Structure 1
């Protein structure tokens, strides 16, 4: 039985960063426990290959419950299962979010660390941005972030021109605090390669540290508790059962596996635990609740007048954030329209051949629908019930209609005429019922599950503002599950900032 000062469960985006940061102190023994293996698929490094990575051996490949809001469809949720986690699979967008997103976090926790201003030092520290050194974008951090220039597709350039002609401001990326506007997407790409979190933080020098142990291929089955203390991890390794003891345990297994591990350990809603045949050790009603995810309509599809050049980036090259119904209004965005320089559609539609069409994607930035996650049994292999409750509020449905309308207005602009032959989808829509029916068929996940172990200052929150699990004195949760509400854009940058902020306080000994 091995013993450590800190055990980190999950080697994904938060866990890899934490392992690197917390092992900087040579006197601190750190173990990183990851269910998957080393990411050795060469396709991971190819930015354009990302859609084809889903469903491979390093994808947990979860399935949701059938969703009434999306025509009864079951959605595949790709989540990384290897060192680097979902940074192996995602579309590489790096968008911090809007300051109002983090003002909501600060209000929920009563802690200014989780505000835009409080998180800014962490954002700066993690980034090596192509615009870095200006005091707004980070310079010299572990993670390369590029705002593309000449590599941007001519179709995306026309999309940006169309948005600007409608009144959207041209902005320098999505990371200045101003999100409303048109810009190429900032991407975690360097020299034409995807850079994963494992590559950025778990460098050869970090891996060589004598005080850092990386246990890949070890699935943590449950936590071993003694009163208000978590004393060990019970894991299944390549050679059989393993018990790992640590003075401090950090769950960074993500918005699905972190709450599932808590519930398998007897921490969660009493009724859920009882139905799964698990004795309740700590009643925590909100574990697995508050599940959130972004949807994108895929899509507003156009036949191309001439061959669309293959993306030199990762297909989705520009996201335009805006207020609903007013291209010239500023402030916190409500909807988003994205330019896909490939024919991106949901499984309900047939995509034309590559190069023959392009898609405008559309969605809601801060959805109000909330779902749940629960276990069905005591073992890691028992089915998870994932119910995101997509499009369950009239607010979300109304904003989705506005997002589709904005996509079509941009798509029919004269600035797009050089590329547009005709609109293929959705075709004529005359009523809200028809619009909602199309959106239900077109909506796909944007791959941002979060919120299932929300942080807060109230007694019902799963973790407190220090990310300590309520009811245990030495267990923290640090990953997308603690996010109380979604940021306006992709959540990866904010997850890294949460982990960096936590690590800084942990290193300071607070």
Structure 2
């Protein structure tokens, strides 16, 4: 394992595995990939039905937020993968690119047309392996994308029919130019197994002599001098090491990227000094702009007949829509409702019996609440302070009420009548806005999509430039969800893969 490489990638998560694959394709380029975890050996990781019960195990960083006033002063657990493959080994396996207007927002915030949906489309397609090719779907990429057919649960088929009864369009999937509508979820599953980015992109190329993978190696600090990263201090079971490279790429994720930079002296000077760290580069927006998707868990119904278990991963269909109306022309999606073939509730409520209840999750696609995270001390072991400020805006609270109303609306359709044995949560008598807000505060859970802590932008205050280089450092880029300036409407993993693919393509151009 060399101490010096041409490119040093920190973090073998969803972006890091793709970067390692693409950038090591040039045999003249020495690439080193560093990961705190190892390849997962727990078979539950690869069993789609085990999601989300694999959270809080040894391969989950299990970050925790500050108590959130907007969610009844609860502390939220943030699952982040501590393994080769990162959070692609923990997430719900959804593949949703987002709405065209999501990427229009990125262009407006960066001033770079390369972040438009059309400009990103080749990068989306380059990572995807659909069964059938189209103008919008790729078949040559490494990540298999399953569009369920015979595997879809009968309850979910009726749920989709319920939306059609209400006038919401039925889509083939949510990865076209239109997202408003209902469809079975596209999933990163092959032959009944979860596929991580490590399995899809990294394992097949580990034989390359110019690609070096270092596992069980925690990144402690960057050494910075003369506007460059001159060394990376890591800790391994064999002791401390210092690695260096001509180009360093951070792909540690929306939590760990800013924390590493702060431990290295990058960030708001006053906050760094309070944590015992000398400031070497002022970057006041680092760790700020933090936002995340939340879901209400949930509108729970008693089933009139026994529910067979899901053959997929329980959460089989999402319905994106506008709170202004169910017609596709009502506007861009701002709320979402999902069907779960199981009980799904927050820790505030007793868990109903499996096989006897099902859940309609509801959420807000573009929250306006913004939080921040920061270090509390100079060491890796110093717990971060994470404050997403969930539900701190009236926009988010009112949109959540609208999403809850839509979940109830589809739950009462004739298409679902044969399943509907009565509303268990929040309960049919709960109708007043204040009571609904109180229920939502207790029911809201993270959808595990934190973004924007190193947000790219045209402004000189933005942490990263539109080309993903960090302002103030000549040889450091950030490539993962932390650079997303505004969250797309759906799960962010498809966007993260496209970001990594774009960065690698641009670097090779």
**Alignment partner, residue 119 of structure 2:** 118
Cα distance in 2 between the residues matched to 1:160 and 1:17: 34
**Alignment partner, residue 270 of structure 1:** 269
**Alignment partner, residue 380 of structure 2:** 380
**Alignment partner, residue 179 of structure 2:** 179
Cα distance in 1 between the residues matched to 2:141 and 2:218: 30
Secondary structure class of the residue paired with 2:409 = helix
Cα distance in 1 between the residues matched to 2:252 and 2:13: 7
Deviations 1:180-209 (A, max 9, x none): 0010000000111110000000124x1011
**Residue range with higher mean Cα deviation, 183-192 or 321-330:** 321-330
Secondary structure class of the residue paired with 1:52 = coil
Cα distance in 1 between the residues matched to 2:92 and 2:396: 24
Cα distance in 1 between the residues matched to 2:470 and 2:442: 39
Cα distance in 2 between the residues matched to 1:329 and 1:191: 34
- The 4+ residue runs of structure 1 with deviation greater than 4 A are none
**Alignment partner, residue 143 of structure 2:** 143
Instruction: Say whether the 8 Å CA contact 1:47–1:194 is kept in structure 2.
Output: yes
Cα distance in 1 between the residues matched to 2:22 and 2:327: 43
| Pair 1:397 & 2:397 matched | yes
Instruction: Say whether the 8 Å CA contact 1:14–1:495 is kept in structure 2.
Output: yes
Secondary structure class of the residue paired with 2:40 = coil
What residue ranges of structure 1 are gaps of 5+ in the alignment? none
**Alignment partner, residue 95 of structure 1:** 96
Secondary structure class of the residue paired with 1:319 = strand
Alpha-carbon deviation of 1:129?
A: 1.3
Cα distance in 1 between the residues matched to 2:41 and 2:116: 37
| Pair 1:18 & 2:23 matched | no
Cα distance in 1 between the residues matched to 2:431 and 2:422: 19
**Alignment partner, residue 415 of structure 1:** 415
Cα distance in 2 between the residues matched to 1:179 and 1:462: 30
Secondary structure class of the residue paired with 1:460 = coil
**Alignment partner, residue 455 of structure 1:** 456
Cα distance in 2 between the residues matched to 1:177 and 1:496: 18
Alpha-carbon deviation of 1:66?
A: 0.4
Instruction: Say whether the 8 Å CA contact 2:181–2:328 is kept in structure 1.
Output: no
Please report the TM-score for the alignment, with normalisation by the length of structure 2.
0.98
Instruction: Say whether the 8 Å CA contact 2:169–2:328 is kept in structure 1.
Output: no
Cα distance in 1 between the residues matched to 2:388 and 2:63: 12
**Alignment partner, residue 443 of structure 2:** 442
Alpha-carbon deviation of 1:294?
A: 0.3
Instruction: Say whether the 8 Å CA contact 1:302–1:424 is kept in structure 2.
Output: yes
Alpha-carbon deviation of 1:325?
A: 4.3
**Alignment partner, residue 482 of structure 1:** 483
Cα distance in 1 between the residues matched to 2:172 and 2:328: 18
**Alignment partner, residue 464 of structure 1:** 465
**Alignment partner, residue 65 of structure 2:** 64
Secondary structure class of the residue paired with 1:163 = helix
Deviations 1:442-482 (A, max 9, x none): 00000101110000011000000110000001000001000
**Alignment partner, residue 107 of structure 2:** 106
Q: How does 1:146-165 map to 2 (within 5 A)?
A: 146-165=146-165
Number of equivalent positions: 506
**Alignment partner, residue 203 of structure 2:** 203
Instruction: Say whether the 8 Å CA contact 1:325–1:406 is kept in structure 2.
Output: no
**Alignment partner, residue 503 of structure 1:** 504
Deviations 1:134-181 (A, max 9, x none): 111111210000110010011111110000110100111010021100
Cα distance in 2 between the residues matched to 1:430 and 1:404: 11
**Alignment partner, residue 303 of structure 1:** 302
Secondary structure class of the residue paired with 2:103 = helix
Instruction: Say whether the 8 Å CA contact 1:148–1:184 is kept in structure 2.
Output: yes
**Alignment partner, residue 284 of structure 1:** 283
Cα distance in 1 between the residues matched to 2:474 and 2:198: 29
Alpha-carbon deviation of 1:329?
A: 4.0
Instruction: Say whether the 8 Å CA contact 1:166–1:328 is kept in structure 2.
Output: no
Secondary structure class of the residue paired with 1:223 = strand
Please report the TM-score for the alignment, with normalisation by the length of structure 1.
0.98
Instruction: Say whether the 8 Å CA contact 1:325–1:402 is kept in structure 2.
Output: no
Cα distance in 2 between the residues matched to 1:299 and 1:233: 44
**Alignment partner, residue 253 of structure 1:** 252
Secondary structure class of the residue paired with 2:181 = coil
Secondary structure class of the residue paired with 1:380 = coil
**Alignment partner, residue 346 of structure 1:** 346
Alpha-carbon deviation of 1:37?
A: 1.2
Secondary structure class of the residue paired with 2:52 = helix
